[in-house]
Amino acid sequence: MKPVKSDVGALKLEKTSVADGIICYAIFGLNIFYYGPDELAQKRYVPQISFLKYYYDHYKIFGHIGYPAFEMWWNDLKDEHSGIDYGSYTPDSLMGYINRQYNVLVSMSGGSYFDGIKHGMKYGDSGQSILFEIDDFQAVQIAFETIAIYDSVALYIVDSYEKINPLREALSAFKSDLDSIKEIMKHTKYLIRPEYDNCIYEIFCKETDDIDCSNDVLTACNWANNCIAGTNWYAKNKASLIWDDKNEFCYRLKKD
């Protein structure tokens, strides 16, 4: 399948086939507020969070945070606030209490899966790769406003929380990024993961779920686009925005 491209307001979509029976939607432009004026600083992640809120409101979700994201976050935090003793770090120190949390072998970095053990992860470490049930949207918001910058977060959209054991098994062995996606998709309706420093979002689905996925992606994009279009900054500068297709993959002001 050749990529199919479309626009949703300030966002762009690209649909491709990544394997037999598996479709991927890539969403570009959710990072539009990264490069705006200071008045948008507190809105930096609003489009992404609004996009994800649609899925939280309509489906059950498992979260996956991969090694070494927790350690990278902790080290960056200490560098930013040098001299403060933060003690030891654990996933709970970032996320709060996590319901039904499990260590898994398959990890993530740069928006791709890899073998955590082969790359230095040890079970029992506070910086392990974890799979967990999401029962509070705050967990999604925290993860995507902190850890997602390392492209080490994935969300698994499921019909039932009973999928936890099959998902654990799918994440217990690693062959390649694509093979991991194939195994995960046997037990999920959608796989959502960011890449390019939380700027581009990928949504994977089975071909049999493509109509549902297309409708959900478009609706979620509209949720995010409404947050963008509703700002004074966007209304004022809309006519002056150009699409950056080489570096940031979002609309930016011409003078930038």
Q: What is the pLDDT of residues 82-121, one digit of tens each?
A: 655 555 666 777 777 777 889 999 999 889 999 999 988 8
The pLDDT value given to residue 155: 97
pLDDT (0 to 100) of residue 37: 77
CB atoms within 10 A of CB 129: 27
Tell me the percentage of the chain whose pLDDT exceeds 90: 66
Per residue in 164-214, pLDDT (tens digit) is 999 999 999 898 999 999 999 999 999 999 999 999 999 999 999 999 999
Q: What is the pLDDT of residue 57?
A: 97
What mean pLDDT is reported for the chain?
Answer: 90
Q: What is the pLDDT of residue 35?
A: 76
For residue 129, is pLDDT > 60? yes
Task: Give the model confidence (pLDDT) of 27-76 as tens digits.
Answer: 999 999 987 778 888 899 999 999 999 999 999 999 999 998 888 888 88
254 — pLDDT class (breaks 50, 70, 90): confident
Q: Is the pLDDT of residue 7 over 70?
A: yes
Q: What is the mean pLDDT of residues 110-139?
A: 87
Identify the pLDDT of residue 215. 98
Q: What per-residue confidence (pLDDT) applies to 41?
A: 86
DSSP characters for the chain?
---EEEEETTEEEEEEEEETTEEEEEEE-TTGGGGS-GGGGGGTTHHHHHHHHHHHHHSEEEEEE-TTHHHHHHHHHHHHTTT-------HHHHH-S-EEEEE-SEEEETTEEEETTTTT--TT-TT--EEEEE-SHHHHHHHHHTGGGGT-EEEEEES-GGGHHHHHHHTS--S-HHHHHHHHHTT-SEEEEEETTTTEEEEEEEGGGHHHHHHHHHHHHHHHHHHHHTSHHHHHHGGGEEEETTTT-EEEETT-
pLDDT of residue 70: 85
